[in-house]
């Protein structure tokens, strides 16, 4: 197969050479793209082809391009992609062939993995003198093992190294005052190491010193390290002297205080209380009852609650402002239509405005109408005019107070048309009323779509629950 791969590489090399002039006509891009597009251009020019059907299809798909050009671009692109696929496939095939270069040759032996490695699976095809087995045979090849002489040499090396390796931060085995390093492996050898101290009151099987050990004179301990490889076993005994753990700073201070308190507890077991020690090795000490943090916690929680109330109320105000704006926009078409109707009946601008506001006031007094912000602003405007504020100024302030663009526009219309009379403003209000109703329809449609979108999740959950109610009994009836 490798020979075929090399032959294909040779053909691609020849194509690269002969297509040099064709690469110049290809749009500049990556060198990889230019090579394959140049080769595609060369092959298209040398191979006989009838593109009439292709030109017809390209004319339908790309009416703005010339059919010949579109067909040529299509052929060039397809040919380049084919060449690229063949080349990449050949590269991968070549690499796979190199990896399995020995496949197919007769075998007299199979290599093993190295010492301590995993077993490996080998697939072999088998042929006898008169036939070949149809299916290959899989065998598990175990890793290479040490001989007895080799493993004993490794054991001896490990036994010489362990007394030094296990010391860790300790300077000598005759004075151990910090944790030992009980290693489980040494170098890359496949040897398991187990540790067995003969005095667990001083040190455990992990090499950790007991925090409660306090024998200042030290304690002799024998450490036995067992070495295991397959069926082979050896061991080494390492004598050490363990001293109390070396402590520094606050750790040392805490240990001394704890020991002093334990001693004070022992000597006063029959008394009603414990006499707290006043001195330890590090110096004089004093004890105090801990300051309660409950008050601070309550104060902090109160401050957090106050902050939450502030932001919560602020959010409520924002929501109320949004609701106010929505309500005023919803009332706007009705107000404008009523003003236009009253003006058409012959009333003045002020008369129409005041009647609209007073009618709302009467309805509100009788409990027939809830509060409407737009009408409340109109009532304020009426009171201002009755108290001496100019009509034009009152209308302008009405628009500014409302804070809604529609009402600012209405205030401007009313104030600017005072001098023109009701005839000029009537047509403007009628147009504004019609426009306001259309805007209200659009807003209602938007709110409906928004509400429908919010209902999708609950409806989906309900559908899922219904499906589960139906499917679970059915599944259980089949014995799943």
> Among candidates 361, 359, 354, 356, which has minimal Cα distance to 382?
354
Helix axes of 373-386 and 349-365: crossing angle, nearest 10 degrees:
120
Which among 239, 144, 231 is positioned nearest to 192, based on CA atoms? 231
Q: What is the mean pLDDT of residues 324-340?
A: 87
Let me know: does 207 contact 175? Beta carbons within 8 Å: no
Q: Are 378 and 355 in contact (CB under 8 A)?
A: no
pLDDT at 419 over 70: no
Q: What is the mean pLDDT of residues 301-309?
A: 78
- How far, in whole angstroms, is CA 54 from its chain's centroid? 49
Residue bearing the bigger pLDDT, 105 or 359: 359
Model pLDDT, residue 480:
47
The model's pLDDT over 204-244, given as tens digits with 9 standing for 90+, comes to: 989 898 877 878 888 999 999 999 998 999 999 999 999 98
Q: Which of 127-131, 158-162, 182-186, 343-347 has the lowest mean pLDDT?
A: 127-131
Question: What DSSP element (H or E) covers 223?
Answer: strand 219-229
Instruction: Name the band, by pLDDT with cuts 50, 70 and 90, for residue 298.
Output: confident
CATH number of 149-246: 2.60.40
Secondary structure (3-state) at 445: helix
pLDDT per residue as tens digits for the range 438-471: 777 777 777 777 777 777 788 888 888 888 887 7
Say which residues have a Cβ less than 8 Å from residue 62's Cβ, sequence separation at least 6: 70
Does residue 350 have a pLDDT over 60?
yes
User: What pLDDT was estimated at residue 1?
Assistant: 66
Across the range 343-363, mean pLDDT stands at: 89
CB atoms within 10 A of CB 299: 10
Most confident of 250-259, 281-290, 332-341: 332-341
Average pLDDT of the residues in 179-190: 90
- Asked whether 343 and 422 are in contact (CB, 8 A), the reply is yes
| pLDDT class of 116 with cuts at 50, 70, 90 | confident
Averaged pLDDT, 186-192: 89
From 194, 164, 167, select the one nearest 178 (Cα to Cα). 167
Q: What is the mean pLDDT of the chain?
A: 80
Rounded-to-integer distance, Cα 179 and Cα 246, Å: 10
Report pLDDT digits (tens) over 19-63. Answer: 776 666 655 555 656 677 777 777 777 766 666 665 555 545 555
Instruction: pLDDT band for 92, please (50, 70, 90 cuts).
Output: confident
């Amino acid at each position: 197969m490798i020979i075929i791969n090399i032959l294909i590489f040779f053909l691609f090399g020849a194509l690269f050479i002969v297509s040099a002039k064709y690469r110049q006509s290809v749009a500049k891009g990556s060198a990889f793209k230019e090579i394959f597009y140049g080769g595609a251009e060369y092959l298209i020019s040398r191979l006989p082809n009838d593109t009439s059907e292709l030109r017809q299809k390209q004319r339908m798909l790309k009416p703005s391009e010339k059919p010949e050009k579109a067909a040529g671009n299509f052929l060039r692109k397809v040919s380049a992609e084919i060449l690229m696929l063949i080349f990449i496939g050949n590269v991968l095939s070549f690499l796979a062939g190199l990896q399995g270069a020995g496949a197919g040759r007769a075998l007299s032996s199979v290599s093993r993995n190295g010492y301590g490695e995993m077993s490996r699976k080998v697939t072999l095809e088998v042929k006898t003198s008169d036939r070949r087995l149809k299916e290959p045979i899989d065998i598990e090849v175990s890793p290479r093992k040490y001989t007895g002489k080799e493993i004993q040499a490794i054991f001896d090396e490990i036994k010489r190294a362990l007394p030094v390796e296990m010391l860790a931060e300790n300077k000598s085995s005759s004075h151990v005052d910090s944790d030992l390093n009980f290693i489980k492996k040494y170098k890359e050898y496949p040897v398991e190491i187990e540790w067995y101290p003969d005095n667990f009151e001083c040190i455990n099987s992990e090499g950790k010193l007991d925090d409660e050990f306090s024998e200042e004179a030290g304690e002799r301990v024998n450490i036995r390290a067992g070495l295991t490889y397959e069926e082979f076993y050896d061991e080494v005994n390492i004598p050490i002297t363990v001293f109390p753990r070396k402590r520094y700073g606050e750790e040392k201070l805490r240990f001394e205080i704890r020991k002093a308190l334990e001693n004070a507890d022992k000597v006063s077991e029959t008394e009603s209380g414990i006499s707290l020690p006043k001195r330890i090795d590090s110096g004089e000490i004093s004890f105090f009852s801990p300051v309660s943090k409950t008050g601070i916690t309550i104060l902090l929680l109160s401050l957090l609650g106050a902050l939450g109330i502030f932001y919560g109320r602020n959010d409520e105000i924002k929501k109320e402002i949004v609701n106010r704006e929505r309500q005023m926009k919803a009332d706007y078409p009705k107000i404008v239509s009523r003003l236009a109707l009253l003006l058409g009946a012959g009333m003045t601008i002020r008369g129409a405005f005041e009647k609209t506001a007073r009618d709302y006031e009467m309805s509100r007094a009788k409990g027939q109408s809830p509060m409407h912000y737009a009408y409340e602003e109109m009532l304020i405007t009426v009171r201002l005019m009755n108290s001496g504020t100019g009509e034009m100024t009152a209308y302008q302030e009405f628009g500014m107070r409302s804070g809604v663009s529609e009402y600012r526009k209405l205030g401007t219309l009313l104030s600017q048309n005072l001098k023109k009379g009701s005839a000029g403003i009537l047509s403007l209000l009628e147009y504004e009323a019609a426009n306001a109703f259309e805007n209200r329809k659009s807003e209602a449609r938007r709110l409906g779509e928004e509400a429908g979108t919010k209902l999708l999740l609950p409806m989906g959950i309900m559908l899922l629950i219904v499906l589960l109610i139906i499917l679970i009994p059915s599944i259980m009836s089949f014995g799943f």
